[in-house]
Chain A
């Protein structure tokens, strides 16, 4: 991965040298040092990832997959060996999908209102939306637990969903709003001027404009939900999500299948990233 990045940087360096703006006395070595530092930081980001991939091929002797014992493919041939791990992953995907779907509706409506409408108190709404983002997760988890205890609700799937929606709404509202700023909204007027009614204008002009932002926000929210440990830990009851399973395994036994599934998720993300990049490039070419 890093060799690829190194190769990726050098042609760009050539381009930069050709550009007239860098000609004026920029010391080449300073530039080089900067690129090397950036490359090292990128390498640092990938260091644990290499370890995770490597240890998915480990053949651990004991219960813990912490030290290298020998190469094997058997973990990859049997990724779903531990049903509780698979169930936990499925529960996490379920929670992420359902909570994101609900939070997208709530969050996008706020974002559209904040960007498209002028109304009294929009500034207050703005600040209010930031607050959940600034509350430490441990506080949010603890406060939700206190609420559920007060209400006498049993913690489980529903409380996990409610908690996830609570932290996703703000993220989605802020992300969609950020994407919507700077759009040319006069297109809506143009559509009306050309005889489209408001409904038609919404579906033919407004929606296509805001959909990319909503999709991006949805992906972010899905990822946040899938990865959330701290808040879920407080409100999960006896339900076990993927991060909760991983945490429990640290105390009991860490099967290499955890690494296999993590690597698989990474590969799928990489694939989506590649497809996304190609798709964008194709659209730019047209």
Chain B
């Protein structure tokens, strides 16, 4: 018996490493190495032609300063749009997540299923549907026009708000789900206790429910902000040349213009800014609630 225990303990010393090795090696090759290649590219000098681009590594930090000065508008716009989209997602998702967690009773799973259902339609097709909804000859534009709420140029499509609206719609699910999970975890007896201690509804919300749902708020905000800041679909489907984001530039530079160093520098800027935020988050709250 003792022999068995000892051998299993011995085995378990290397067992975890054997179990994590395949995935870590995979991610080292197909995540870490590509990012290192990208970083190297961002410091290289471009040469050759569009058809046969060549690169030479040479600590060319000017790629970064050029990227910043040339695409300053797109960088600011991306983070601006992503921040607005994240805040609106939070405002819209909180009441829904709250109702599902506390008020839905036995219909909880059904409503949760309904919330997830729209996201079974491909992201691009949903965005095309918004194009139809916001179209110049669509009913939304004519309805807003008849009540005099239409912006001065008479369009919804191709505006910043159309792009932000698309960002909100496409990623709100990543706000609703973590919020729901964190609200669901709250012990209802805590809320009862606040009532027993004569707290008002507002007070029990601000003092108990809201603080306890903060992990969900943070996780949801990151899960909306990250894809929104790097997106280029909403800007290209719903926006105009005045609403391009970093993603559009990176995509354009990589796949059309083939100026790899500039595109790589922009990608690094985007990733580093997001990474700093994420590391600050995981330091403060851990990774447990992120997914």
Say yes or no: is A90 at the interface (Cβ < 8 Å to chain B).
no
Do B37 and A143 touch across chains, with their CB atoms under 8 A apart? yes
Most chain A C-beta atoms within 10 Å of own C-beta, residue among B98, B122, B291: B122
Say yes or no: is B87 at the interface (Cβ < 8 Å to chain A).
no
Number of interface residues of A (CB under 8 A): 101
Which chain A residues (98-115) contact chain B, with CB distance < 8 Å? 105-107, 109-110, 112-114
A230 and B19 in contact (CB under 8 A), knowing A34-B98, A42-B115, A44-B92? no
Do A16 and B123 touch across chains, with their CB atoms under 8 A apart? no
Q: How far is the CA of A174 from the CA of B8 in the complex (A)?
A: 26
Say yes or no: is B287 at the interface (Cβ < 8 Å to chain A).
yes
Q: How far is the CA of A107 from the CA of B105 in the complex (A)?
A: 34
Say yes or no: is B275 at the interface (Cβ < 8 Å to chain A).
yes
Do B96 and A109 touch across chains, with their CB atoms under 8 A apart? no
Chain A, interface SS category: helix
Select the stretch in B66-74, B148-156, B207-215, B250-258 that faces chain A. B250-258
Q: How far is the CA of A143 from the CA of B255 in the complex (A)?
A: 12
Do A166 and B31 touch across chains, with their CB atoms under 8 A apart? yes
Residues of B within 8 A of A (CB): 8, 12-13, 15-17, 19-20, 22-24, 26-27, 30-31, 33-35, 37-38, 41, 92-93, 95-96, 98-100, 103-107, 109-111, 113-115, 117-126, 128-133, 135, 137-138, 169, 172, 188, 191-192, 195-196, 201, 222, 226-227, 229-233, 237, 246-247, 250-251, 254-255, 260, 263-264, 267-268, 270-271, 274-275, 278, 282, 287-288, 290-291
Residues of A within 8 A of B (CB): 1, 5, 8-9, 11-13, 15-16, 21, 24, 26-27, 30-31, 34-35, 37-38, 41-42, 44-49, 51-52, 55, 66-67, 105-107, 109-110, 112-114, 117, 119, 122, 125-140, 142-147, 150, 162-163, 165-166, 169-171, 173-175, 178, 198, 223, 226-227, 229-230, 233-234, 242-243, 246-247, 250, 254, 258-259, 262, 265-266, 269-270, 273, 277, 280
